[in-house]
Amino acid sequence: MKRLLFAPLLLLTANAASAYEFNLQFPVPAGARNLVVAGYSIDPVGKTVLGNCSYVVYSACSGRGCHSVPHHYNNTCTWDFHGNLLHVVSGAPPQQVPLSQNGTEIIYALDGKVSTGRDSRGFGFVNTPAAHYSWQTPDGTYQVIPYAPYMVAATLISDGDLSLKIKKTAVAAVVSGAITPSAGKAAITDDSCSAVVSPGSSCTITVTYDPTKVSCTNSGYGYAYTGIDLSLSSNAGLKQDFTQRYTVTGVPLCDNNN
């Protein structure tokens, strides 16, 4: 196993403390091992991070005496300041010497309040002043609801460094499973998030879901399987939809004889 040699590490200076941490996104291929995702340099003009995104895949092997062969995929990646992957080029960048360490974060580059590097917990990051939000209402939950309009109030908090500006909100009803022929109807019926949301402030988007628009179900028990997907367009950089999934009870049965 290779050992990485680091220069003596210093404490991170306070000028990067007000930034928000975004993970450097990289889709991990199936069977990948020894993944390295790290930001090595910062382009303050283009607002991008350049770094390493390399991994190893071992060939399948069976039988006595068989040895898996490692295939090394050395790559250089470019991300924006929200950690979104922009480009992947074959060939790893030269190994960088760390500037400092802050807890589990190993810092490779620092430009004003923006820093980048890798975390010993297994991911790369970029710390930058930015807008960000998190859902305070439990997201991705499952509910059993009757065949009647259902209301959910989704509250978010602006937890970044800059004010959150929501440009657009949209909600869609979705079908889960083949026995439900239609998704019903979802609409935003109240929205306090249309204005600028300052850091530390919360706002709420209320969605009314009407399962009675599911005319019938192929389930012998009168169940329909549906859900909602609430999406935002904002200056936060990363997309974080609010979702719920439903089992609707008491849905009329479809007449399959027609």
- Which percentage of the chain shows pLDDT scores above 70? 91
DSSP string, 99-133: -EEETTEEEEEEETTEEEEEETTTEEEEEE----E
pLDDT exceeds cutoff 80 at 227: yes
Residue 166: CB atoms within 10 A of its CB come to: 22
pLDDT tens sequence across 80-129: 999 999 999 999 999 899 999 989 999 999 999 999 999 999 899 999 99
> Which tens digit of pLDDT belongs to each residue from 8-54?
333 333 334 468 999 999 998 888 899 999 999 999 999 999 999 99
Predicted pLDDT at 177: 78
- Distance CA(149)–CA(170), nearest Å, equals 18
Q: Taking all residues of the chain, what is their mean pLDDT, rounded to a whole number?
A: 89
| pLDDT tens digits along 189-205 | 999 998 899 999 999 99
**Has residue 72 got a pLDDT over 80?**
yes
For the chain, the structural domain boundaries read: 10-128, 133-249
Residues 45/40/84/176 CA torsion (nearest 10 deg): -170
User: What SS3 class is residue 212?
Assistant: helix
Q: Which two tokens stand for residue 108?
A: 């490779």
Can you tell me whether residue 16 is helix, strand or coil? helix
Residue 171: both structure tokens together: 């909600």
Look at residue 251 in the predicted model and tell me its pLDDT.
Answer: 96
CA 87/CA 89 separation, integer angstroms = 7
17: its two tokens: 């403390």
pTM beyond 0.85: no
CA-nearest of 63, 62, 45, 236 to 156 is 236
Q: What is the structure's pLDDT at 88?
A: 97
pLDDT of residue 15: 38
pLDDT of 63: 66
State residue 255's pLDDT score: 81
pLDDT confidence bin for 148, thresholds 50/70/90: very high
**Domain 133-249 in this protein, CATH class:** mainly beta
Strand partners, 34: none
